[in-house]
Homo-oligomer: A and B are copies of this chain.
Amino acid sequence: MSAIDMQQKPQKRPDMDDLNPCAACGIRDTAICSVLAPEELTKLEAITRHVDFSQGQTVIDEGEPADFLFNLTQGTMKLYKLLPDGRRQITGFLFEGDFLGIALNEQYAYSAEAIGDVGLCRIPRQNLESMLDEFPHLEKRLLGVVSNELAQAQDQMLLLGRKTAREKVVSFLLSLSRRAADREAEPSPVYLPMSRADIADYLGLTTETVSRTFTNLKRDGNIRLKTGGYVELPDIVALEEIADGA
């Protein structure tokens, strides 16, 4: 194995704790920083500041100047867009290591709010852009991140436009399960830090329909609702068939 292995799983590096916060960062190996060499990391560190937000706080606001980009280091967030009368569409949930705030124009195209308390790495947009010119592999990585988000967005369009309530809820549980597995964790049980209202606004449903669908899935033995927002998925394969209407 090479000294720098891009595929390795995240791990703590307690040896450098305070001297080099980035190197000690828990998500250092999954976040965009993972493509940076030590001296480049130092450079990134110089322009980065760590910020915390508590439950329910708005981190970015649709339409505001997009002066910062963020890396979520701890907690969960939701991204959403609003219609004038208050209808809301959640376009995504973010977990540790996810990137936030890429804006094509000068303004953010969506809002972002903390679910529970969160910690973020904040990078001024201007500075990052000059770093991009200097380190093309960072730009390549960014292109990968955005392409990945686009692919997810297309899956979500299929879900919103063509799936039933039951298929939507099951697809949602499976996507959380897969993302947990991508990070580190077990694919089941899945942890749901967000409210029923958030899930509804993500799936294009109402809270009542989400709740009823959970109840039905439980009755049919497809899921088990635990306390503290945990859901067990006893048969992933069976759920995958439900998810695309097979």
Contact indicator per residue, chain A 76-111, by CB within 8 Å of chain B (1) or not (0): 000001011101110100000000001110000110
A-side interface residues, number (CB < 8 Å): 44
A129 to chain B, nearest CB (A): 9
Whether the pair B245, A158 counts as a contact (CB closer than 8 A) is no
The answer to whether the Cβ of A146 comes within 8 Å of any Cβ in the partner chain is yes
Which of A15-23, A136-144, A177-185, A218-226 makes up part of the contact surface? A136-144
Is A6 among interface residues, defined by CB-CB distance under 8 A? no
**Contact yes or no, B157 A102, CB < 8 A:** no
A154:B154 contact, CB within 8 angstroms = no
Q: Are A109 and B154 in contact (CB under 8 A)?
A: yes
Query: What 7 A-B pairs come out closest when comparing CB atoms?
Result: A161-B204, A153-B153, A160-B160, A89-B158, A104-B147, A87-B162, A89-B161
The chain B residue sitting closest to A204, CB to CB, is B161
Bound: A204/B164 CA distance, A: 12
Chain A residues in the interface with B (C-beta under 8 A): 81, 83-85, 87-89, 91, 102-104, 109-110, 132-133, 136, 139-140, 142-144, 146-151, 153-158, 160-163, 201-204, 244-246
Interface of chain A, helix or strand or loop or mixed? Answer: helix
A174 → B minimal CB distance (Å): 14
Known: A89-B157, A136-B136. A83 touches B162 (CB 8 A): yes
27 contacts between A and B (CB under 8 A): A81-B154, A83-B245, A84-B244, A84-B245, A85-B245, A88-B162, A89-B157, A89-B158, A103-B147, A104-B151, A109-B154, A132-B140, A136-B139, A139-B140, A139-B143, A146-B146, A146-B147, A146-B150, A149-B150, A153-B153, A153-B157, A156-B157, A157-B160, A160-B161, A160-B204, A161-B203, A162-B204
Alpha-carbon distance between A200 and B179 when the two chains are bound, in angstroms: 31
When distances are taken between beta carbons in the complex, the residues of chain B under 8 Å from A156 are 157
Instruction: Using known A-B contacts A104-B151, A139-B136, determine if residue A244 contacts B157 with beta carbons closer than 8 Å.
Output: no
**CB of A179, distance to nearest CB on chain B (Å):** 16
Nearest B residue to A168 by beta-carbon distance?
B161
Extra 20 A-B pairs, beta carbons < 8 Å, given A87-B163, A153-B154:
A83-B244, A84-B244, A85-B246, A87-B162, A87-B245, A89-B158, A89-B161, A102-B147, A102-B150, A104-B147, A104-B148, A109-B151, A109-B154, A110-B154, A136-B136, A143-B146, A146-B150, A157-B160, A160-B204, A161-B204
